[in-house]
Amino acid sequence: MKMTFSDAQLPAMPMDTEAIQKCIPHRYPFLLVDRVTSMSPGDKIVAYRNISISESALQGHFPGDPVLPGVFIIEGLAQTAAIFGYYATGCVYKGCLLSDVSEARFRKPVRPGDRLVYEVKIERQRGHFLWFDALALVDGEKVATAKFSALMR
């Protein structure tokens, strides 16, 4: 499905943390996207997060064998989708309300030292309501998938 935005509306790539924070209100430690590497109208957005041993979520999640909790992967995908939705809807961003997460599957653990790549596509759009198909990868291998919907306001 082709979205309503044009190449002229897209920010320069890559988007660093400063540019990301102009799109979404998340801040450390809740900003889970380090950089957006590409965004194509009607196609997809690709972003990443470098996972470090110093992540607060890893301190108590299986000490001695740290694994990033799945909820952080889903939230990173949702934040990436919010950035994409911001440009897709063309609205002045006041917030992105996640309304549904379904078909979430976790396939492999994400560990310190991994680069977690987020790929999000917009399946459909009705006004400011969007449905997303999301994929998380490490070294080109699927670590998680999910479908979700959100209202951009």
Query: Tokens standing for 7?
Result: 């190449």
Residue 1: pLDDT band (50, 70, 90) is very low
Query: Tokens standing for 99?
Result: 């309304």
Q: What does the alpha-carbon distance between residue 19 and residue 10 come to, in Å, rounded to a whole number?
A: 12
What pTM does this model have?
A: 0.90
Per-residue pLDDT reduced to its tens digit, 130-150: 999 999 999 999 999 999 999
Q: What does the alpha-carbon distance between residue 128 and residue 108 come to, in Å, rounded to a whole number?
A: 33
Choose, from 11, 26, 40, 61, the residue flagged as catalytic: 61
Per-residue pLDDT reduced to its tens digit, 54-79: 888 888 888 889 999 999 999 999 99
Query: Tokens standing for 96?
Result: 């992105």
Q: Which domains does the chain have, with CATH numbers?
A: 7-152 (3.10.129.10)
Give ∠ CA 44-143-113 in degrees, rounded to 5: 100
- Share the mean pLDDT of the chain: 87
- Is residue 61 annotated as part of the catalytic site, yes or no? yes
Average pLDDT over residues 34-57: 91
